Chains A and B, each alone.
Chain A
Amino acid sequence: MRPQRFDVIIIGGGSAGCTIAARLSEDPGRQVLLLEAGPDPQPIPDSIKLASREARSLMESPHIVMYPTVRKGDGSTFYKVSGRVMGGGSSVNAMAAIRPTRSDLDRWASLGNPGWSFDECLPLLKRIETDADYPDSPIHGSDGPLYVKRPFILGDPADEPAAAFIERAMAMGLPLCADLNVPDPFGVCTAPYNIKDGIRQSTTVAYLDPARGRPNLHIVDEAIVTSLKITGDRVEQVVYEKDGQSQSASGERVVLCAGAYQSPQILMLSGIGPAAELKRLGIDVKNALAGVGENYQDHATVSMTFEGRSDFRPDWVIPRFRLMFKSDPSFPCGNFHITQRPPTRVEGLAAMMPVSASLVEQRARGRLRLVSTDPHELLEIDDAMLVDPDDRKAVATAMQFIYDLVQHPSMEGFYGPIIYPGSDDDWEQHARNTHGTYHHGVGTCMMGPASDPMAVVDSTLRVHGMENLWVADASIMPTVTHANTNLTTIMIGERLSDLLKEA
């Protein structure tokens, strides 16, 4: 039976939300409500479940939200994406299970966030996973809910273009790195994935499903939270739409896990955010916090496309590895993921073989702006990607590295001349005009001390100035990790669960 009042209400059943719902409902005495905007299909449809459907599912799935974003270079539009279904991003993402680096977490700690250094977070990272390749390693876990495995191990047989790519990268000075999840990864790395026997291990599968039977865990799907009713420093009610009706729930504690694009929106619609912005839209300011929606960061991806050799067999497979490249050798870990991409084919044309570089850091900070008070309207994104000259320079360095790697006699059998950009084009400008995203938007409810005017939550993830409101998702990251962001977000969920259990 649904209680009158919950101990904890979790808004958003994504990577962090499902983790928290499962952990907090371990105590049968704690009544937990999970509100998720998307559906909670059971059984999970093949389009989500089967790892092999990932690329196609991104193209076809009804569970995707696309956020138009204007490139700074030429004003053209591309799209950020999030998942709107139980599991959130973990139900639609590419399933790379990559840890934050030591330098990422140590930096978070150094920004005034005690408890978040790499060494202090390592126990959380370990308890998340069952690492099928390194169960006995002191830095890996062997009995956590999330199954992690490297589908390709360096030395495994690989199709010739991939084998040649790896060999050439090594000849250019990159070391072999058997585990991308070491604290300072660099080189030719095997990449871990949360895929078990071909099945996506979303947080729905890894965390929520085993907890579903608990009578104290209440799950409401297709429930869109529109605002929080706030009195003083407390959230009194969570207001949501379900079946076209406005409903509400009250809870002792409220945890916002709606992701980097929606958590700031819910805060602002509830009167927590930059005062001038809220006033402009006629929203009653409950708690002026300048940082809500600010500090946005993402990873920019650029591709270079080469002609594929027509005489090479078209069915070659790219194994799951990536180059972790440093655009500056003095960096503590790689700042690019470089990957071979599958060919594009059009009848009558040479195959097109892209190689992409994702800059896994961002120096400039973007922001999300509330456009109206309509909770269904998407926030406007000003992502500031490739605005900083050092980011642009780094991208040009990575592009030159790719060019030098591919345009070498040892690669001639597979890669032909460059198609796009042209060798005479301005590559930096080209990157600014055509880049995409690695889909790792974060930072819009930044964690930091009260002395930092941009901080939204403190190091216990409680919203500054609020008594019973926490944010725990990708939005709290002070800086984007040098890694794909899902595992870090799950780690944030694990940390919040501990903090609330202790509180």
Chain B
Amino acid sequence: MLFEGKIPVHAEPSAVWKLLLDINEFADCVPGVSNVVKIDDSTFDGTIAASVGPISGEFAFRAHIIESDPPRAMAAHVDGTDSVTKSSMTAEMAMTLARLGANETELTYHATVDIRGRLALIGDMVLMATAKLIIQEFTKRLRRKVEVVPAPG
């Protein structure tokens, strides 16, 4: 599954970068994430709880920053396993920050997510809808945290 898009933020790239690197602040922007533990400067663990119909599960993941070019680009690798089906998920994510003007940054993301095991039977449509809402909510929370001037609208 491929997720890509652009998030305009009314802030300087350095402010967005700082938030992305602060594990707790970043995790706070991602809905459903809890138990975040910093392993080292570029690695953290966490869990996401979700229920799909009658099945509730917890997804434990480890995120590892594999490339960092402050404050412009970052690449991360995420591995996860879910508690119910023991399915595995791997994601390769890339983010770039472009300064469009004073207090104007465009965050571009590109993620490929690969799910192996029974979790895949839940269906791409459910997973894509969930991802879409997570990204929308992430955008809201990120903006709330870093924007100097409230975004119009």
Residue A387 lies at the interface, judged by CB distance under 8 Å to chain B: no
Segment 296-319 of A: residues with Cβ below 8 Å from B: 301-305
Indicate whether A344 sits within 8 Å of B132 (C-beta atoms), given known contacts A60-B84, A352-B126: no
User: Which stretch in A74-82, A96-104, A273-281 binds the other chain?
Assistant: A74-82
Once the chains bind, are B123 and A348 in contact (CB under 8 Å)? no
Residue B55 lies at the interface, judged by CB distance under 8 Å to chain A: yes
List, in ascending order, chain B residues with CB within 8 A of A76's CB. Answer: 1, 124
Once the chains bind, are B129 and A419 in contact (CB under 8 Å)? yes
Once the chains bind, are B52 and A347 in contact (CB under 8 Å)? no
Q: What is the bound-complex CA distance between A59 and B85, given in angstroms?
A: 6
List, in ascending order, chain A residues with CB within 8 A of B54's CB. Answer: 55-56, 342
Residue A403 lies at the interface, judged by CB distance under 8 Å to chain B: no
Shortest CB–CB separation between residue A317 and chain B, in angstroms? 10
List, in ascending order, chain B residues with CB within 8 A of A419's CB. Answer: 129, 132-133
Q: How many residues of A contact B (CB 8 A)?
A: 34
Q: What is the bound-complex CA distance between A341 and B123, given in angstroms?
A: 12
Once the chains bind, are B53 and A55 in contact (CB under 8 Å)? yes
Q: What is the bound-complex CA distance between A111 and B120, given in angstroms?
A: 37
CB within 8 A of A78: which of B32, B84, B120?
A: B120
Once the chains bind, are A303 and B120 in contact (CB under 8 Å)? no
Indicate whether A434 sits within 8 Å of B124 (C-beta atoms), given known contacts A346-B32, A349-B133: yes
List, in ascending order, chain B residues with CB within 8 A of A77's CB. Answer: 120
Which size bracket describes the interface of B in this complex? 20 to 34
Indicate whether A302 sits within 8 Å of B132 (C-beta atoms), given known contacts A55-B55, A56-B55: no
Q: What is the bound-complex CA distance between A64 and B85, given in angstroms?
A: 12
Residue A271 lies at the interface, judged by CB distance under 8 Å to chain B: no
Q: What is the bound-complex CA distance between A434 and B122, given in angstroms?
A: 12
Once the chains bind, are B32 and A348 in contact (CB under 8 Å)? yes
Once the chains bind, are B48 and A420 in contact (CB under 8 Å)? no
List, in ascending order, chain B residues with CB within 8 A of A435's CB. Answer: 125
Q: What is the bound-complex CA distance between A320 and B120, given in angstroms?
A: 24
List, in ascending order, chain B residues with CB within 8 A of A347's CB. Answer: 31-32, 34, 49
Residue B18 lies at the interface, judged by CB distance under 8 Å to chain A: no
Residue B6 lies at the interface, judged by CB distance under 8 Å to chain A: no
Nearest CB in chain A to that of B132: its residue: A420
Q: What is the bound-complex CA distance between A349 and B85, given in angstroms?
A: 23
Residue A58 lies at the interface, judged by CB distance under 8 Å to chain B: yes
Main secondary structure of the interface of A (DSSP, over half): strand
List, in ascending order, chain A residues with CB within 8 A of B120's CB. Answer: 66, 77-79
Segment 14-42 of B: residues with Cβ below 8 Å from A: 31-32, 34
A-B contact count (CB 8 A): 99
Residue B67 lies at the interface, judged by CB distance under 8 Å to chain A: no
Indicate whether A305 sits within 8 Å of B50 (C-beta atoms), given known contacts A59-B84, A59-B118, A348-B137: no
Indicate whether A58 sits within 8 Å of B121 (C-beta atoms), given known contacts A305-B126, A344-B129, A349-B133: yes
Once the chains bind, are A436 and B124 in contact (CB under 8 Å)? yes
Shortest CB–CB separation between residue B103 and chain A, in angstroms? 27
Once the chains bind, are A344 and B53 in contact (CB under 8 Å)? yes
Once the chains bind, are B50 and A345 in contact (CB under 8 Å)? yes
Residue B7 lies at the interface, judged by CB distance under 8 Å to chain A: no
Q: What is the bound-complex CA distance between A199 and B124, given in angstroms?
A: 30
Shortest CB–CB separation between residue B145 and chain A, in angstroms? 15
List, in ascending order, chain B residues with CB within 8 A of A342's CB. Answer: 52-54
Q: What is the bound-complex CA distance between A434 and B119, given in angstroms?
A: 15
Residue A354 lies at the interface, judged by CB distance under 8 Å to chain B: yes
Q: What is the bound-complex CA distance between A290 and B49, given in angstroms?
A: 50
List, in ascending order, chain B residues with CB within 8 A of A465's CB. Answer: none
Shortest CB–CB separation between residue A454 and chain B, in angstroms? 31
Once the chains bind, are A78 and B126 in contact (CB under 8 Å)? no
Q: What is the bound-complex CA distance between A65 and B4, given in angstroms?
A: 32
Most buried by A among B34, B48, B123: B123
List, in ascending order, chain B residues with CB within 8 A of A302's CB. Answer: 125
Once the chains bind, are A348 and B31 in contact (CB under 8 Å)? yes
Shortest CB–CB separation between residue B29 and chain A, in angstroms? 10
Shortest CB–CB separation between residue B35 and chain A, in angstroms? 12
Once the chains bind, are A346 and B49 in contact (CB under 8 Å)? yes
Q: What is the bound-complex CA distance between A303 and B126, given in angstroms?
A: 8
Once the chains bind, are B85 and A344 in contact (CB under 8 Å)? no
Nearest CB in chain A to that of B124: its residue: A434
Once the chains bind, are A60 and B85 in contact (CB under 8 Å)? yes
Indicate whether A346 sits within 8 Å of B118 (C-beta atoms), given known contacts A56-B55, A434-B128: no
Residue A151 lies at the interface, judged by CB distance under 8 Å to chain B: no
Shortest CB–CB separation between residue A283 and chain B, in angstroms? 31
Shortest CB–CB separation between residue A488 and chain B, in angstroms? 23
Residue A350 lies at the interface, judged by CB distance under 8 Å to chain B: yes
List, in ascending order, chain A residues with CB within 8 A of B51's CB. Answer: 344-345
A selection of 22 A-B contacts at a CB cut-off of 8 Å is: A56-B54, A59-B84, A59-B122, A60-B84, A66-B120, A76-B1, A302-B125, A303-B123, A304-B125, A344-B50, A344-B51, A344-B129, A345-B50, A346-B31, A347-B34, A348-B137, A349-B134, A352-B130, A434-B124, A435-B125, A436-B124, A436-B125
Pairs A-B, 10 closest by C-beta atoms: A348-B31, A342-B53, A305-B129, A420-B129, A303-B125, A346-B32, A347-B32, A436-B123, A434-B124, A59-B85
Given known contacts A59-B118, A64-B118, A304-B125, what 8 new A-B pairs fall within 8 Å (CB)? Answer: A305-B126, A305-B129, A342-B52, A344-B130, A345-B51, A347-B49, A348-B31, A420-B129
Interfacial residues, chain A to chain B (CB-CB below 8 A): 55-56, 58-60, 64, 66, 76-79, 81, 301-305, 341-350, 352, 354, 419-420, 434-436
